[in-house]
Copies of this chain bind each other. A is one copy, B any other.
Amino acid sequence: MNILITGGSGFLGARLARTLLQMGELSLNGGAPESIRRVTLADRVAPPADLLADARVHAVEGDLAEQVAQGALQLADTQLVVHLAAAVSGECEADFDLGMRSNLDTTRQLLDACRRAGHAPVFVFSSSVAVFGDSPEQPLPSVIEDTSLPTPQNSYGIQKFIGEQLVADYTRKGFVQGRNVRLMTVSVRPGRPNGAASSFLSGMLREPLAGERARCPVAPDTAVALSSPGNTVRGIVRAATASAREWGARTAVNLPALTTTVREMAEALERVAGTEATSLIDWEPDAQVARIITSWPSRFRPARAEGLGLRADESFEAILREYVRENPQAVKLPVKG
């Protein structure tokens, strides 16, 4: 089996690639397990060294739209496409045309290339919790169901929701076997801040653990729905392995999320690394970031995901301790317990 991961050098793409390479084989679309022969990582930048060192990894660097146009992605013998590449929410709000190009046009071009390949590959589309947005004219329901109407309040959410519609129709037409999954906010991400409005939801833990100051731009009581990197990758893999029958409707599946607050996250940080860590958090509100974050829902009833055997993380402290375990080089403060 050959696999393509777009955004494959990013944090989530690289983690997914490592997970798949370690599994060695995959049961695609409810079928028999097949060994994974090639994992193509398409991204603007090269993948991490550990991935490049694996003989099964094929790296394709550059602009995804150009790679598609040039036929550089070897789709003809690719059985699974995981489309993670996207401009993030903050970027899309700052540069409307960039978001439309990166998130709408490129997704459509990739779907068209899969269609031309002619063998209907499994196509996992990473949509986002950002399709849900609260507004005075149309308040969100207090708990989001799989059938709740998305009313995106930013361009990123609109573009992701349009991507879901495209994947659904290309699936109905038999061009791909689409699996729309809505990822929750991933925390704790290792590495550096990015342009996502949700970036601080990792930074306010990661930076203090590294002995650096971090800003929290929202009020402590702000409720958020989070998923650990490991749990997020489990959801993506499950989307690829599920049969069409298990998966059900072509609309998107909301992945499970842990509902917590920014205050509880800080309290978990204090239990893990003491006030030495939490004193490094600067509580400085930023109205624009807060508007985006508080427009996202924080409570879900993810019936379809649970039917597929997926569960939310147990607690934020568990997520945080997993981060500390997996990223010892990034933790400079002494850890308790």
Contacts and interface: CB of A to CB of B under 8 A. Distances in A.
A149 interface: yes
Nearest to A175: B96
Interface residues of A, number: 26
A158 B168 contact: yes
Interface stretch (A17-25, A49-57, A243-251, A257-265): A243-251
A153 interface: yes
Contacts of A150: 149
B250 A96 contact: no
B168 A138 contact: no
A292 to B, nearest CB: 12
A249 B161 contact: no
A163 to B, nearest CB: 10
A172 interface: yes
Contacts of A249: 135, 137-138, 151
Interface of A: 96, 135, 137-138, 147-155, 158, 161-162, 165-166, 168-169, 172-173, 248-251
Given A96-B173, A151-B250, 9 more contacts: A135-B249, A138-B249, A147-B149, A148-B149, A149-B150, A152-B169, A155-B169, A158-B168, A158-B169
28 contacts: A96-B173, A135-B249, A137-B248, A137-B249, A137-B250, A138-B147, A138-B248, A138-B249, A138-B250, A138-B251, A148-B149, A149-B149, A151-B249, A151-B250, A152-B165, A152-B168, A154-B172, A155-B169, A155-B173, A158-B165, A158-B166, A158-B168, A158-B169, A161-B165, A162-B162, A162-B165, A162-B166, A165-B165
